[in-house]
Structure 1
Amino acid sequence: MIFHDSIQEAKQYGRDAVKEMTARNIPATPDNYAVWYAYVSGRDPDLSRMISILDGNGQSFTAAICSDLYNKSFASGIDEAALNATTDRIESEMKRILSYVGEAGQGAANYSTTLATAHGDILDSKNVESLTSAVTKVLTETRKMEEMNKNLEHQLANSTDEIGQLRDDLEDMRKEAMTDALTGIANRKLFDMELRDLAKEAQETGDELSLLMLDIDHFKKFNDTYGHQTGDQVLKLLASTMTKTVKGDDIPARYGGEEFCVILPGTNLKDATAVAENIRQRVSSKTLVNRTTKEDLGKLTISIGVGQFDLGESLADLIKRADQALYEAKHSGRDCVKTQNDIGANTQTFN
């Protein structure tokens, strides 16, 4: 999670985080501090919802619950049990391969000794019988070596297949850890990684890079009226529309709650604004209908802020600028696109 707070904001959030932990008798460990800093700053709607539910149910914030909150919001997202199991399988397979190679090496050494002995026997042979015996010994050991090599080839082929499967398993785990479970698009962790890498690339090449920040208008009211399940369907609809609208190397991602982002490499502010407007129009053109009751749920609208990366600036500045443009869109009637050029002098960050 990227924090882009001023020194004064960070101090206040830090004090508020400690106050919240103290009120709930939660030890101020680094992991817990990260959770409650994010909570009081209000930048992670999913985390805020989880804590509100726990508070509403009167649950105590045990070590297990605190650990779960941290893992859901900050950890890598990889199932540790599955990762450990895969690691154990890789270690086991490597030991098997080393065993195969060791056996083959010993067999090759024995074969070499046999050939050296047979060579001497052949040179010392005085008759056909002794020569035949020496040649037969070489033939027998050669066949043994051939059979051993066949077994080694078969064993190594099996190990290759197993390692290939393990590689695929690890790739699946990596993708799962970087994908938003509800919408199927990039999650916050992958967004942070991709934005960092693309900004670094832009620094090196001088290419343009833009960022869209999207927020569903009146989503809380929609959720309260129709329920979280319907709200989840709306989130999936927006993610699907974004994915179908963007092209090439563009990266749509869920930033948190009802906020989404699109990273647009090789795109200037003008073209990024056109992409944003295209997304907005496609979303607003859809009519929401409850599939079960056939109830007309009205129109879905979104507000979008657009920022362009300035070479040499921090990513926090880019995100904050796009966030401020989103704030302008929200306070200009919603269902519109605003860019960093529209930011007013008194604009504050919209969370």
Structure 2
Amino acid sequence: MIHDQSMQRRRSRIRGLFGVTAPTDAPADAHTPVEGERARLLDAIRDFLLGNNLDISAANLLAAHTAFSGGNPRLRRRIGERIAAGEAISQFWLDQQLRDDGKSDPATHYEDMAVRLQSSVERFRDTTSSARNAVVSYGRDIASQVETLAREEPAATSLLREKSQGMAETARTFEMRLLRAEREAQSLREELARARRDATIDPLTQLPNRRGFEAVFEEEFRMARSNVEAMCVAFCDIDRFKCINDSFGHDTGDRVIVAVGELLKTMGTGSCHAARHGGEEFVMIFRGFTTEQARERIDAMRIALGKRRFVQESTGDVIGKVSFSAGVADVFAFPDRRNALRAADEALYRAKEAGRDRVEIAG
């Protein structure tokens, strides 16, 4: 009985995090906002895993942390939707969400390998360069010693020159091989650098992907803080996208994603950026914009999208109006960037709950 009551309280707290029900036994406030945020995050992770009878594994801990800390708003929203629907969160379901996330951002799996490979290539290039320089120095030493011996032992000059020429030729051959290896290493290094840059681009929309967004977000945040500028972040999610995929096929779904991506590109300036965060979800950065200004810009794009009519290319069937919902948050109104991302995601969730095709501002 005690165990059942404890499980029920944990589930209640998790439901409260998503606004499904109010928490009945919220923990006492911590001494500082930072301590309170840490306590809230630890409680959320604990309640999520224990309340759903999930294993306390490294993968589950990482998934819970990214969901509740703001690192993976898409997973957080799916968890919230499942809880709101009263459906169980099983290990099988969670594993499926993590696999889907991996498919939408394959660069995540290869980035570490690319970093290690590039580091190895750079070490090889440095080693071959050092070896080539050593060979050049060795050849010069041979020539210098031959000249010295020739002056001291004139009778041995012919034999010395013959032997030294063979050694010098060997050294030059080795030097040329090392030079080629050094050039190949440099070429491979440049190709790897290009590949890593490409890994931050979503191949479907040509917008930055989640990894590319993180780099842009960090730089824009640094600039906004340095210049004392306003800064907002926003999530937008295509409404009822699963129905589009199920009814008209993934090719049509991809065309809709591309169309939304093209629309978001139109706002691209030096201080406004858009990225595909995964699946049908996009994230935007507005440096120098208040939340109301950012909302107005997103609303204009939402209205423009609503005026378009999509058809299925293979049959000509009319898909009809496509819309998206969005949530906007003031980055500097929260303790850190992760909290702002989570707030924007929660605002998006409220927009969905309020009927979709709308933009909400985080409180």
Please give the range of the TM-score, normalised by the shorter of the 2 chains: 0.5 to 0.7
CA shift for structure 1 position 118: 4.1
AA aligned opposite 1:222: I
Q: Distance in 1 between matches of 2:112 and 2:66?
A: 24
The percent identity for this pair of structures is 21
Provide the rounded CA distance (Å) in 2 between the counterparts of 1:335 and 1:226: 21
Q: Distance in 1 between matches of 2:240 and 2:38?
A: 28
Contact 2:234 / 2:284 at 8 angstroms: preserved in 1? Answer: yes
What are the equivalent positions in structure 2 for 1:1-351 lying under 5 Å apart?
Answer: 7-8=39-40, 10-18=42-50, 20=52, 22=54, 28-35=56-63, 43-45=73-75, 76-78=108-110, 90-118=122-150, 120=152, 152=175, 154-155=176-177, 157-310=179-332, 313-327=335-349, 329-330=351-352, 333-340=355-362, 343=363
> Is this contact kept in 2: 1:77–1:177, CA < 8 A?
no
Q: Secondary structure at the match of 1:161?
A: helix
SS at match of 1:255: strand
Question: Offset at 1:297?
Answer: 0.3
CA RMSD, 1 decimal:
4.5
**Cα contact 1:252–1:263 (8 A) shared by 2:** yes
Task: State the match for 2:30 in structure 1.
Answer: none
Corresponding letter in the other structure for 1:76: T
Letter aligned with residue 254 of structure 2: D
Identify if the C-alpha distance between structure 1 residues 297 and 105 changes in structure 2 by more than 3 Å, giving closer, same or farther.
same
Q: In 2, distance between residues paired with 1:36 and 1:270?
A: 32
- Residues 280 and 302 of structure 1 are in contact (CA less than 8 Å); yes or no, is this contact kept in structure 2? yes
- Distance in 1 between the 2:194 and 2:257 partners? 24
Number of corresponding residues: 314
CA distance, structure 1, for counterparts of residue 305 and residue 53 of structure 2: 40
Task: Give the distance between the partners of 2:299 and 2:264, measured in 1 at CA.
Answer: 11
Q: Return the offset for 1:146.
A: 9.5
For the Cα contact (< 8 Å) 1:179–1:187, is it kept in 2? yes
Q: Is the 8 A contact 1:203 1:312 kept in 2?
A: no
> Residues of 2 paired with 1:67 and 1:337: CA distance?
28
User: Is contact 2:220–2:271 with CA below 8 Å preserved after alignment?
Assistant: no
In 1: Cα distance, 2:348 partner to 2:269 partner: 22
User: How far does residue 290 in structure 1 lie from its aligned partner after superposition?
Assistant: 0.5
> Structure 2 length normalisation: TM-score?
0.66
Cα distance in structure 1, aligned partners of 2:328 and 2:77:
26
TM-aligned CA distance change 1:260 to 1:107, over 3 Å: same
- Aligned position for 1:127: none
Which segments of 5 or more consecutive residues in structure 2 lack a partner in the other structure? Answer: 1-35, 83-90
TM-score normalized by the length of structure 1: 0.68
Which amino acid counterpart does residue 192 of structure 2 have in structure 1?
Answer: L
Q: What is the CA-CA distance between 1:66 and the residue it aligns to?
A: 11
Secondary structure of the structure 1 residue equivalent to 2:328 = strand
Q: Is the 8 A contact 1:215 1:258 kept in 2?
A: yes
Distance, in Å, in 2 between the alignment partners of 1:311 and 1:337 is 18
Give the 3 Å change call, closer, same or farther, for CA 117–94 of structure 1 in structure 2.
same
Q: Deviations over 1:126-154 (max 9, x none)?
A: xxxx69x97998899799869966973x4
What one-letter code is carried by the residue in structure 2 that aligns with 1:33?
L
CA contact (8 A) 1:188 1:253 kept: yes
Structure 2 Cα separation of the partners of residues 65 and 96 of structure 1: 46
Who is 1:348 aligned against? none
CA distance in 1, matches of 2:65, 2:193: 32
Per-residue deviation, 1:338: 3.9
Mapped to 1, the partners of 2:347 and 2:77 lie a distance apart of 24
Give unpaired runs (5+ residues) of structure 1.
53-59, 122-129, 344-351
Q: Equivalent residue for 1:349?
A: none
Deviation at 1:211, TM superposition (A): 1.7
Summarize the Cα distance change of 1:143–1:283 in structure 2 as closer, same or farther, 3 Å threshold: farther
Q: Return the letter of the residue paired with 2:225.
A: Q
